[in-house]
Amino acid sequence: MGAGTMGARMAKDAGPTRDDRLKAALKANMARRKAQKRGRTAAAADEDQAPVEDDGQETDANG
């Protein structure tokens, strides 16, 4: 065996590859974005259901 083969084998056992790290980062980013969107959607739904204040007075066209 040559030194090149041994070095490649050691690098493979050393830890996750660049592709693995990028894949994990992308997955985490997508999870964060989905959570943010769910939060915004829930907040918008809460605003839609908020009671509207009505003082009972009608206004005419002049204010």
pLDDT tens readout for residues 10-62:
556 678 999 999 999 999 999 999 999 999 998 888 877 766 666 666 666 66
* 54 belongs to a structural domain: no
In a domain, 8, yes or no: no
Q: How far apart are CA 4 and CA 13, in angstroms?
A: 15
For residue 33, the enclosing domain spans 16-45
Contacts of 24 (CB under 8 A, 6+ apart): 16
* Dist CA 5 CA 12 (whole Å): 11
Q: Is residue 39 part of a domain?
A: yes
Is 59 a domain residue?
A: no
Does some domain include residue 20? yes
Q: Is residue 34 part of a domain?
A: yes
Domain count for the chain: 1
User: Which pLDDT score, from 0 to 100, does residue 39 have?
Assistant: 93
- Structural domain includes residue 62: no
pTM above 0.85, yes or no: no
Does 21 map to a domain? yes
